[in-house]
């Protein structure tokens, strides 16, 4: 969770963070499903760590022009190389097929991307008054949003909001199914 909160101060930073995470996770997951069974358990952790670190370094080299952004992300770049998602996938996926592993990793990273994008857009728009570096005027400017603690509070409220939306949707689905059941004339 710190990955999604602390470095995501601007939209660009959020997207870059998800890119780093994807670079760390997806290749390791695919490699795990390809050759995972052949690696003894003692060496699996260092092996996957090396693979993901290599990919992260590669990506970092590609974006080394964006020095400011990288400074924003700071310590989370190397942390992403050894993140928990990657390890969990890598240790689980030797038992699965490649498309499954790929699908899993891509979906996880996509989920992270969505949350990071939304959160960082919100924080940048309301907190710094810009979006993707373009200065915009927000209705209210809450400078405190760029602080990590506001990020945690914001995540809490957003997850509460999504849970509420979820329960409304589920409620409507239940309602609809009950109605169709009644109309179907079954004994309900």
Partner 1 sequence: MKLRTQNPPHIRSRESSLTMMTDIVIATLPLYAMAVYYYGTRALLLGGFGVIVSSMADGACQLLAGRIPNIRDLSGAVTGLLIPLLLPASASYSMILLAALFGIAVAKQPFGGMGQNIFNPAAAGTAFAMICWPKSAFAYPVPFERLPAMVDDTVRLVSSPAYSLSLGGTPNIDLLDMLLGNAPGPMGGTNILVLLTCLIFLIVRKTVGLAMPAAFLGGASLMALLTPRVDAPALTAVAYELMSGLLVIGAVFLINDPVTSPKRTLPKIFYGFGTGALSMAFRHIGRYEESFLFALLVMNATVWIIDVWGEHLAHAMRRKNREFKTNPPVSEPAEQDVGAAQK
Point out which residues bind partner 1 (CB under 8 A): 140-144, 147, 153, 156-157
CB nearer to partner 1: pick between 91 and 153? 153
Residues in a beta bridge with 135: 130
Q: Which is nearer to partner 1, 141 or 178 (CB)?
A: 141
| Angle formed at CA 107 by CA 49 and CA 86, multiple of 5 degrees | 15
Q: What is the smallest separation between the CB atom of 150 and partner 1, expressed in angstroms?
A: 8
* In the complex, least distance from residue 3 CB atom to partner 1, rounded to whole angstroms: 23
- Give the span between the Cα atoms of 71 and 4, in whole angstroms: 16
CB of 63 to partner 1, least distance (A): 31
Name the residue nearer to partner 1 (CB basis): 117 or 147. Answer: 147
Q: Nearer to partner 1 by C-beta: 44 or 150?
A: 150
Q: Confirm if 28 and 94 have CB atoms less than 8 A apart.
A: no
CB 134, min distance to partner 1, A: 22
Place of tokens 């997850």: 159
Using alpha carbons, list the distances in angstroms from residue 71 to 91, 123, 161, 170.
31, 18, 32, 43
- Rounded CA-CA distance 52/23 in Å is 7
């Amino acid at each position: 969770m710190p990955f999604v909160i602390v470095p995501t101060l601007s939209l660009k930073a959020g997207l870059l963070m998800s890119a780093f995470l994807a670079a760390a996770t997806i290749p390791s997951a695919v490699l795990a499903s390809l050759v995972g069974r052949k690696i003894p358990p003692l060496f699996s952790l260092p092996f996957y760590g090396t693979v993901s670190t290599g990919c992260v370094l590669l990506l970092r080299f590609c974006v080394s022009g964006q020095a400011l952004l990288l400074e924003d992300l700071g310590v989370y770049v190397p942390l992403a190389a050894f993140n928990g998602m990657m390890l969990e996938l890598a240790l689980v996926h030797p038992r699965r097929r490649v498309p499954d592993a790929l699908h899993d990793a891509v979906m996880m990273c996509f989920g992270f991307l969505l949350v990071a994008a939304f959160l960082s857009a919100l924080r940048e728009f309301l907190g710094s008054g810009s979006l993707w570096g373009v200065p915009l005027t927000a209705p209210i400017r809450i400078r405190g949003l760029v602080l990590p603690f506001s990020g945690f509070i914001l995540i809490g409220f957003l997850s509460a909001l999504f849970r509420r939306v979820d329960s409304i949707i589920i409620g409507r689905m239940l309602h609809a199914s009950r109605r169709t059941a009644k109309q179907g004339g079954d004994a309900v």
